[in-house]
Amino acid sequence: MAMMILPRLPARSLRDQLRRYSVRAPALQTQPFTKDKTLADLKGWVPDIPDPEVQVYGHVRSRRKLGQVSFVNLTDGSSMRPLQAVVPRQLTAGLSPGSAVYMKGIWHVRSGDAERAAADTASPAQEADVTPISDGPPAAEGPGGGVELTQPHASRAGDAISSGSSVGAQASGELQVTHVELLGQSNAQTYPIQNKYQSPESLRSIPHLRPRMPLNSTMLRLRSDATAILTDYFFRRGFQQCHPPLITSSDCEGAGEAFSVKAGGPEEFFRDTKYLTVSSQLHLEAFSQALGNVWTLSPTFRAEQSDTSRHLSEFYMLEAEMSFITDMDELMDMAQDMLRSLVTALRQRTASLELVHNRETARDPIERLAFNDLVDGEQLQRRWRGLASAARWPRISYGRAVELLQASGETFEHEPAWGRGLQSEHEKYLAEKIGYDDAQDAYLPVFITHYPRDIKAFYMLQSAQSPPEGPTVDCFDLIVPHMGELAGGSMREHRLAELEENMKLHGLEVPSRRDDKESSLSWYLDLRRWGSPPHGGFGLGFDRLLSYLTGVPNVRDVVPFPRYYGRCDC
CA-to-CA distance for 446 and 120, rounded, in angstroms?
39
Answer for the pair 55, 148: CB distance below 8 angstroms, yes or no.
Answer: yes
pLDDT over 90 (residue 519): no
Q: What is the pLDDT of residue 523?
A: 92
Residues of the chain above pLDDT 90, percent: 71
Q: What is the pLDDT of residue 116?
A: 52
Q: What is the pLDDT of residue 124?
A: 34
Confidence class for position 65, pLDDT limits 50, 70, 90: very high
Determine which of 31-35, 46-50, 316-320, 345-349 has the lowest per-residue pLDDT on average: 31-35
Query: What is the identity of the amino acid at 377?
Result: G
Name the CATH topology of 215-244+280-494+533-568: BirA Bifunctional Protein; domain 2 (3.30.930)
Alpha carbon distance, N-terminus to C-terminus of the chain: 48
pLDDT over 60 (residue 413): yes
| 324 torsion bin: left (phi>0), alpha (psi -120 to 50), beta (else) | left
Query: At 20, phi and psi to the nearest 5?
Result: -75, -20
pLDDT over 70 (residue 503): yes
Per-residue pLDDT, averaged over 498-512, amounts to 92
| 392 torsion bin: left (phi>0), alpha (psi -120 to 50), beta (else) | beta
CA-to-CA distance for 146 and 35, rounded, in angstroms?
9
Q: What is the pLDDT of residue 272?
A: 84
Determine which of 1-10, 250-259, 268-277, 334-343 has the lowest per-residue pLDDT on average: 1-10
**Among the listed residues 141, 51, 39, 41, the one whose alpha carbon sits nearest the alpha carbon of residue 82:** 39
Q: What is the pLDDT of residue 270?
A: 87
Q: Which of 24-28, 246-250, 559-563 ranks highest by mean pLDDT?
A: 559-563
CA-to-CA distance for 363 and 365, rounded, in angstroms?
6
Higher pLDDT, 149 or 334: 334
Per-residue pLDDT, averaged over 459-474, amounts to 96
pLDDT over 50 (residue 236): yes
pTM score, two decimals? 0.84
CA-to-CA distance for 212 and 192, rounded, in angstroms?
11
Count helices and strands (H / E) in the chain.
Answer: 15, 22
Q: What is the pLDDT of residue 266?
A: 76
pLDDT over 70 (residue 182): yes
Q: What is the pLDDT of residue 304?
A: 85
Cβ-proximal residues to 461 (8 Å cutoff; 6+ apart), any chain: 473, 474, 490, 491, 492, 493, 494, 536
Q: What is the pLDDT of residue 322?
A: 98
pLDDT over 80 (residue 374): yes
Domain with CATH 2.40.50.140 in the chain: 29-191
Q: What is the pLDDT of residue 251?
A: 67
For 92, the enclosing helix (H) or strand (E) is none
pLDDT over 70 (residue 447): yes
DSSP assignment letter at 328: H
Q: What is the pLDDT of residue 547?
A: 97
pLDDT over 70 (residue 131): no
CA-to-CA distance for 1 and 300, rounded, in angstroms?
47
Per-residue pLDDT, averaged over 375-387, amounts to 96
Q: What is the pLDDT of residue 515?
A: 63
Strand positions, DSSP E, 283-410: 294-301, 314-323, 395-397
Answer for the pair 405, 426: CB distance below 8 angstroms, yes or no.
Answer: yes
Answer for the pair 446, 394: CB distance below 8 angstroms, yes or no.
Answer: yes
Per-residue pLDDT, averaged over 527-549, amounts to 97
pLDDT over 60 (residue 257): yes
> In Å, how far are 48, 199, 259, 347, 350 from 44, measured between CA atoms?
13, 30, 48, 19, 12
- Count of CB atoms situated within 10 Å of the CB of 241: 15
**Among the listed residues 301, 344, 371, the one whose alpha carbon sits nearest the alpha carbon of residue 80:** 371
pLDDT over 50 (residue 409): yes
**Among the listed residues 73, 80, 128, the one whose alpha carbon sits nearest the alpha carbon of residue 103:** 73
pLDDT over 50 (residue 285): yes
Confidence class for position 166, pLDDT limits 50, 70, 90: low
Domain with CATH 3.30.930.10 in the chain: 215-244+280-494+533-568
Determine which of 101-110, 122-131, 156-165, 357-366 has the lowest per-residue pLDDT on average: 122-131
CA-to-CA distance for 421 and 398, rounded, in angstroms?
9
Q: What is the pLDDT of residue 364?
A: 93
**Sign of the alpha-carbon torsion through 473, 479, 484, 490:** negative
pLDDT over 90 (residue 233): yes
Q: Which DSSP string do the residues of 480-542 spell out, in sequence order?
A: ETTTEEEEEEEEB---HHHHHHHHHHTTPPPPSSTT-TT-TTHHHHHHHHS-PPPEEEEEEEH
Confidence class for position 115, pLDDT limits 50, 70, 90: low
Determine which of 62-71, 117-126, 203-212 has the lowest per-residue pLDDT on average: 117-126
pLDDT over 90 (residue 347): yes
pLDDT over 80 (residue 185): yes
Per-residue pLDDT, averaged over 122-138, amounts to 35
Q: Which DSSP string do the residues of 140-153 spell out, in sequence order?
A: SPPTT--EEESSPP
Q: What is the pLDDT of residue 530?
A: 96
Q: What is the pLDDT of residue 543?
A: 98
Q: What is the pLDDT of residue 273?
A: 85
Residues of the chain above pLDDT 70, percent: 81
Q: Over 524-536, what HEC string results?
A: HHHHHHCCCCCEE
Per-residue pLDDT, averaged over 454-475, amounts to 96
DSSP assignment letter at 472: B
For 438, the enclosing helix (H) or strand (E) is none
Q: What is the pLDDT of residue 142?
A: 36
The 8 Å CB, 24+ separation contacts for 11-18 are 11/134, 11/135, 11/136, 11/137, 11/138, 11/139, 12/136, 12/137, 14/139, 14/140, 15/137, 15/138, 15/139, 15/140, 18/139, 18/140
Higher pLDDT, 152 or 40: 40
Between the CA atoms of 237, 242, 248 and 251, what dihedral angle is there, to the nearest 10 degrees? 10
Q: Does the domain formed by 29-191 have CATH 2.40.50.140?
A: yes
CA-to-CA distance for 8 and 20, rounded, in angstroms?
19
pLDDT over 90 (residue 293): yes
Cβ-proximal residues to 506 (8 Å cutoff; 6+ apart), any chain: 254, 457, 458
